[in-house]
Amino acid sequence: MTDAHAQIKDTVTSNDVVLFMKGTSSMPQCGFSSKVAGVLNYMGVDYKDINVLADDGIRQGIKDYSDWPTIPQLYVKGEFVGGCDIITEMTLSGELDTLLEENGVAFDKDAANKIREHNS
């Protein structure tokens, strides 16, 4: 196991929710990362943000770890959930709410409902 792989595994297993993204939760550096961070921030999800632009090993390592070619990547309780399109679909369908609830992750249900109302 490479150092990056070990670091990624440790990060996703020791935090309930992790977002590997370009930039940070307060300063995303790409539209896709901004969209996912915006959803999580608005819903009040407590998550760890990992800026892949700060470490090339992590940037490539996360793609290898998940066998997923793009960033951002969201993990809940150590499991890869998906990227921007999947998280957007899950948010709008309510599946993200269910996933968070089933894993004991606190979030603002009213905020999630507002996102769906705004996008219906």
How many helices and strands, by DSSP H and E, does the chain display? 6, 4
Name residue 111's amino acid: A
**30 labelled as ligand-binding?**
yes
Backbone angles phi, psi at 83, to 5 degrees: -105, -160
H/E stretch holding 81 reads strand 79-82
| Cβ–Cβ under 8 Å, residues 15 and 47 | yes
Q: Binding site: residue ranges?
A: 30
Q: Binding site for [2Fe-2S] cluster: residue ranges?
A: 30
